[in-house]
Structure 1
Amino acid sequence: MLNTVVEIDKAAMILKLLGDKTRLIMVKILDTHDCCVCEFVEIFKMSQPAISQHLRKLKDIGLVKEERRGQWIFYSTDKNNEYYSFVKMILKQLPNQDEKLIELKEKGVRIMCR
C-alpha cells in the first residue's frame, strides 16, 4: 500500500528511469544487496563510466544512496526515500536477481572490493 500519493510527473520520471533494463536490474539487486561499481561492471559487462552514469541517475532522484567504506563506495536503495513504497511495489513483481551475485562470488569477483 502506498503511504503517500505519488505525483504524476514524479511517477513518470521514476518509471522512465526504471524503464531502462540495466537500471531496473540494478535497483532490484540493490534492494537486497549493497554493491559497488566494479560488481556492476562485471554483471553487465559495461564500462565503469557507463555504470556510474546509471547509478548517478538513480542517486539524483534519491532511489539509491551511497556509503563509503574505506576506499570503496557501496550503493543500496534508499528505503527512506519518499517514493520507495512506489518503487517497492514494482520490484516485488520482478524475479530475484541473486544468481547474478552468486555467479560473481563463484568467479571470485564479488569479494574483490570488500
Structure 2
Amino acid sequence: MVPLDALAETLKLLSDKTRLTILSLLKEKEMCVCDIVELLQTTQPNASQHLRKLKIGGLVNETRRSQWIYYSLNIQDKPYLQGILDQLPSMKEQINAKHKNSCN
C-alpha cells in the first residue's frame, strides 16, 4: 500500500497539464529535453523545471549522454499510476511529425 502522503505528492505533480503532457510523451519513448521543448512549444527553462519536479517526485529518470540529458518514465514501482497513464492521449503522431520535420 502506498503511504497517503506519497500518493498525495504524486497526484499534486500530475495536476499540471504540462507535466501530464510530458508523461504522455515519455510513455511513447525516452526523449531528450530539446525534443520535449520543441513538442511542448515552450522554453527550455520551463520544460526543465517541470522535468526537475517529475524527477524529484520519482516519476522520471534522467540519463546523460554526452552533452544531452534524456528522460524516461520511472513508474515500475508505482503500479497505481498505470491507470492514469493509460488514460493519457497518445503522442505518437506529434512525435512522428516532429521527426519528419527535424534536421537531425
Who is 2:100 aligned against?
A: 106
More helix by share: 2
Shift of 1:79: 3.8
1:68 aligns to 2:69 (yes or no): no
Q: Which runs of 4+ in 1 moved over 4 A?
A: none
Percent identity between matched residues is: 43
Deviations 1:18-70 (A, max 9, x none): 11111011112212301111111111111101100000000001110011122
- TM-score of the pair, normalised by structure 2: 0.90
Deviations 1:69-114 (A, max 9, x none): 222110001144x32x1222210122211112112112116x4xxx
Question: What residue ranges of structure 1 are gaps of 5+ in the alignment?
Answer: none
- Residue 74 of structure 1 aligns with an amino acid whose one-letter code is Y
- TM-score of the pair, normalised by structure 1: 0.83
- Residue 30 of structure 1 aligns with an amino acid whose one-letter code is L
Question: What residue ranges of structure 2 are gaps of 5+ in the alignment?
Answer: none
Q: Would the aligned equivalents of 2:30 and 2:71 in 1 still touch at CA under 8 Å?
A: yes
Aligned-CA RMSD value: 1.4
